[in-house]
Amino acid sequence: MKVGYLGPKATFTNMAVNQQFPGVESVPFLTIPNCLDAMMADKVDVALVPVENTLEGSVNITLDYLIHEVFLPIHGEVTVPIKQHIMVHPFREDKWREIEVVYSHSHAIAQCHKFLHTELNGIACEYMTSTAAAAQFVKENPHINGAAIGNLLTAEEYGLKIVKHNIHDSMNNHTRFLILSKNPVHYSAATSHLVGHKTSLMVTLPADRSGALHQVLSAFAWRKLNLVKIESRPTKTGLGNYFFLIDLDRKMDDVLIPGAIAELEAIGCEVKILGSYPYYMTE
C-alpha cells in the first residue's frame, strides 16, 4: 500500500500518516489537488489530506476539489493535536536565547504569538513554505543564528534540538484529516484510538423554495440524528447558489439515515453520500 499526503515530509500531515498507517510507504505531494489527482491516477492507494483546523476553519481546497473535481469516498478521519516546539541546530542548544531570527510557516508563527512576544520579544520572524522547510533551512545553515518552529517529527527528521516544548498559544488546537480511497481501506491505527463513526452527506436544496433548509434539518431532528457539522459551500453555478455538507455522528444504518435521505429527496433535494467511516483521535 502507498499513502499519498500533503507534503513535505515531517509535517503534521506526515505525522497523521505515520500514526494511522505505521510502516506503510508514504508519498508526499506539493499540493492537495496533486495528492488527490495521484489517487485518481492510481499512483497511490490512499490519500490523507487536511479538512479542518480548530483555529483556521475548513480547508476549502479539500472540500471543493472533492466535490467539483474528483469523487473519492471517505474511509476514515483522524484528528491530530497541533503542538509546536522551538528547535535549534545542536551547535546552539545551550545559547538558544541568543537567536536572532525565527523561521517557520506563517500559521505556526501566528499560533505561537504569545511565546514569541514574551520570551523572544524583538526577534525577527521569517516565513517559510512549511515548518519542515524552516527546520531544513536551520539544519543546513548552522552559521545563521536562527531557530525553527515545528513538531516533534520535524526535529527528528532534521536532527534539531528542541529547546522549548509546547510553545503554542492554544492547547485545544487540532487538525482533522480525511482518509480517501477508491476502495475499502484496512489499517491498524495502532497509535490512535477510535472515537466513533460518522456519515457525511452533500445536500443540494431545491431552487427557490422557502423553508427548504428548515425541512432538511427537521428530517434529521425528528429521527434524533445528531449533526456534528453543517457547512455551506458555493455550487459555482451562480451567486447565491449553495450546497450543504452535513456530518452525522453515527454509522450508516438500514432505517434512520436512509429514511432521512428519502425524505430529503421527496422535497426536491439532491443527496450524495460522501462516506460512512470511523474517526480516530491521536494523543
List, in sequence order, every beta strand (DSSP E) within 23-173. 25-29, 46-53, 57-58, 74-81, 85-88, 101-104, 124-127, 146-150, 161-164
**Which distant-in-sequence residues (6+ apart) come within 8 Å of 133 by Cβ?**
8, 105
Residue 98 has what DSSP assignment?
Answer: G
H helix intervals, 69-176: 106-111, 113-119, 131-140, 152-158
pLDDT confidence of residue 262 = 95
CA angle 247–253–255, rounded 5-degree value:
110
pLDDT < 50 stretches in the chain:
none
What does the buried/exposed string (b/e) look like for 186-212 if buried means 16 or more CB atoms within 10 Å of the residue's CB? ebebeebeeeebbbbbbbbbeeeeeeb
Task: Report all structural domains of the chain as residue ranges with CATH numbers, in order of start.
Answer: 1-81+173-191 (3.40.190.10), 85-164 (3.40.190.10), 198-276 (3.30.70.260)
